A and B are shown apart, each in its own frame.
Chain A
Amino acid sequence: MQTRDVLAWRASVAGSGVMGEPAARGRFGEYGGRYVPESLAEACREVDEAFRGAWADPGFRGALTRLLAVHVGRPTPLTPAWRLSGELGVQLYLKREDLTHTGSHKINNALGQALLATRMGRRRLIAETGAGMHGVATATAAALLGLEATVFMGERDMERQSLNVFRMRLLGAEVVPVTSGSRTLKDATSEAMRHWVGTTDDSHYCVGSVVGPDPYPWMVREFQRVIGEEARVQCAAELVTGVPDHVVACVGGGSNAAGTFAGFVDTPARFVGVEAAGGAGASGGRLGVLHGFRSLFLQDDEGQIIEADSIAAGLDYPGVGPEHAHLRDLGRARYVTVTDDEVLGATARLARTEGILPALESAHALAWVIRAAGSGELPAGSTVLLTLSGRGDKDVSTLKELL
C-alpha cells in the first residue's frame, strides 16, 4: 500500500512473540524486570501467580467481562470523525474510551486488578495517581467490590485536580497527599510503593499504567487489551480496508496505547505512540531503572530522574512502559512528541468539529494526526484509528485558563 511506502519507518518485525507474554524474568527485550526492594519481591511473585491463574480462568474472565459490560459500559463505540476527517483528508476513527464509566480507559485496568485483589483475598487497594483518573478509577472499583482504597497523590496535583480529589473521597477512598520531591505523579508512585512495602499482607498495589515491576506492565496491558480487541472487530466492520493504516494513541506510561496496539499487533497497521514534548520517555529518555522496571527515562547528566512537565497531568511521567521501549527498538511502533500548543489546538478543534471534548492526554494523539495529515506524513485517504483515552471534563478549568 502506498501509505506505508511513504513513511520512513523500519519494516515492522513479524508478530511472533511481540506483545505476547514477556520473556523470562519479565523482560520485553532488554526492558522490564522486577527491580523491587527484597520486601516486595514476594508480593510481586504473588501478583504474578494470581494473575496467571486468573487470566487462565474462564470464570475470572467472564466475571470481568460482565463487570466491564454492565458497570463500565463496554464495548465503547468506534466513532467516525466525519467532519474532521473531511478537513484533514484522512479517515479518522475514534475509539471512545472517554465514554467509559469514570471517563477514561483507566477503569479497565483498575477493575481488572480490583477483581484480582478480591481473588487474592486482599481487602484494600493502593494506587498512585497524577491527574486523578486512575485514582478515581481505583476508588470506583474498590467501592464496587467492597474494598478499601488508599490513593497517593502529589500535593501539587491535588491542587491542580481538586475536584478529582473530592470525587475519590466521595467514593470512600483515602487520598494521601505526597509532599516529597516534585509533589507530582513520580513521587506519588514512589510513595505508593513505600506504602505497599508495609502492607503487602492485606493490600494490593493497583498500578495505573504499563509500568512498575513485572508482572504489572504485562498485566495492565492485558487488562487494557480489551480496547484493541474491540477496536479490531469494529474496524473490520466499519472500514473498507478492514484494518486501519495507522493506530495512534497517547503515551504517558503507555497503557491505553499498549492495550490498543495489542489488538492490531498481527496486522500491518503502523503504530504511533504520541508523547508530550515535556514527558517524552520513549522519544527522549535513556536507559534506566525506576519504580521497579528497566526502561527509558528522562534523566540528567548525573543519572537523576528529570521531572516531566506537560499540560496533561496524566502524561507527566518521566518514563515509559518497558514494552514500548521494546516496540521502539523493534521498529514495530514509532514514538513522537507534540507540544502543549498543538494539544490545545487539537482539543478545541475536536470540540468544534465533532462535539467531543477530549482529555488533554488524548488530545496529544489527535495533535499528531492533525500535524501529520497537514505535512503529508499521513497521505490523503489513510485510515487512522485513534484511541480517545478519556474525556476532557477534568481539564476544563485548565483550558479555561489557557484558551
Chain B
Amino acid sequence: MAPTHRAPASDARPDTAGPAKAATATRAGRRPALGHPLLRHGLWALAALAAVALLTAATGPVTDLRVADVGLHLLAVAGLQLLVGTSGQVSLGHGAFMFVGAYTMALLVVNLPAVPLAAGMAAACAAGCLAGLAVGAATARLHGPYLAGATLMLAVGLPAVALRFPDLLGGANGLAFTAIGAPPALSGLVDDTQWRALVVWTVALIGLVVLATATRGRLGRHLRALRDDPTAAALSGIPVGRARVTAFVISAGAGSLAGACQAYVLGTATPSTYALTLSLVLLAALVLGGLGSLWGAFWAALAIVYVEVAGTELAHALELDTDVRNNLPVVFFGAVLIIIVLAWPRGVHGALSALGRHRSTPSQTGDS
C-alpha cells in the first residue's frame, strides 16, 4: 500500500504550535556530505576570510570598521540563532553575554597587558560559556514568555554589575584602552583598523564553523527535536534539560566572543553599550534575517549595521526640522523591521530561498 498521494514538495503546513516552527527543515539530510564537515565548513570560512581581506583592502577605515562590526554581530546573532532558531528558546538577553565577553577582554588588556590576544579571546569565550551555564541552568525549566521575561531582566540587570564595582569595572564610564594593532611586519600592508577587521572575522568564522557543525549534526538535531516537541524528544532519549543548557552555553560563548571582538575593535567596554536595546536589536535582526539558518544570521548582521547607516544618511540627505531629523533613524529602523516581518514572515533568508525554489519549481506556496 504505497501512499496514493505524493506530498506537496514545498512548504510545510503553516503551524503555529511551537516556537520558531517557521524554521525550515535544514538541508542536513538532503545530500550526502561532501567530505568531512569540518573540511567543508573550513573551506567556506577561508573563502569568506579572503573576501573580507579583499574588501577591506579596497576600502577605507570607516568601511573597515563597519565590516568588523558586521563580523562580530554575525557571530553574536549566529549564537542566538542556535538558541532561538534551533532550540526554540527565546532569549531577550543575548546582549548580557556580549557584556561578559567585552568586560573579560577589557579587564585582561587593562590589567594584564602581556596576555596575548588569542588567549584573551579564549578567556572571553570561556567566561561567556560559564555565564551561559549559570543562566541556562537557572532558566532550564522556563518556557515561552517566562524565559523571555527572565532573560530580559538579565539584559537589564547584568550591566549593573559594572556600576556595583566601579573600581574594578569603571562604573558608568566603563573601561577604555588601546589594544594591539597590526603586527609591525605587516605595517605597510594593512592598517590597524583593517587588521582588527580581519581579526574579528577570523574569530567570527571559527565560531561560525563550530556553530555550523553543531547545528548540522546530532546536537542540532536534538535541539530542533526538543524545540518541536519536548515530550517526544525526551522519550526519544534526548536529555531535554541538559540539551537546553548546552544550547545556552554555546550561544553564550558565541555572544561573549562577539563582545570581546567589539571591545577589541573599539577599545571600550561600557555598561550603556550593553543596554536592553542591544539585546532586542539582536533578536529583531535575527527574525528579520530568518530563523533557522546561519544565512539568516548573516542578513541580520548586515541589517544591524547598515539599516542604521542608511537611516542616518537619509536623515542627513533630507532637509528636515531638527526633531524630525534626530528621530528619523529610529523610525526608519522600526519601519524596516515591520515591513520585512510583514512582507517576509520567514525573514530575508526565507524569502530568498523561497524565491530560489520558485525559480526551479512552479509555485507551491502553502495555504492557510
Whether both chains belong to one complex is answered with: no
